[in-house]
Amino acid sequence: MHSTQYVVRPLVEAHLDAMLLIEHAAHSHPWSLANLADCFGRLHYGAGLFLQQAGGPDALVGFFLMQQVIDEASLLDICVDPKFQGQGLGRLLMKQLIDEAVNRDAAVIMLEVRASNVGAIHLYQSLGIIEVSRRKNYYQSQTGYEDAILMDLTFN
């Protein structure tokens, strides 16, 4: 029996097509290729979670994108291929994001999440990320609009 091996590596623009496929599979209102490509600027950092495959190239199964301005890091997008969800990979990516922000001397990580995304909210809360505000009717949804919950993790 072989154990599944994952590795986290920085994303490069060559990963954009694979990122787009995951984005469209995982999100009801996915980002466009142009939106994803915009996250490769000087203030941005992205990491991919790759499934190591014997005898073949590693397969991208999830990623996060963050932006940091001075000491404020913002989670822009996090995504795990639905075929790989429920295995703790989102938590693994979030821990990597937190480590990266700390290594870059961030004082805070900020994010927003759809109010209906209960699984993500519970994950964030379990990592010490707390709700600080809401944006009413911010996200388009299947039935109209829903709130964005603004959450922060502040480092001392």
d(CA 97, CA 116): 23
- Burial class of 37 by CB neighbour count within 10 A (0 to 12, 13 to 18, 19+): middle
112 catalytic? Reply is yes
d(CA 124, CA 140): 22
45 catalytic? Reply is no
CA 102 from chain center: how many Å?
A: 16
The residue annotated as part of the active site, out of 112, 131, 139, 146, is 112
For residue 98, give the nearest of 123, 127, 70, 118 by alpha carbon: 127
The residue annotated as part of the active site, out of 23, 124, 139, 146, is 124
- The residues that are catalytic are 112, 124
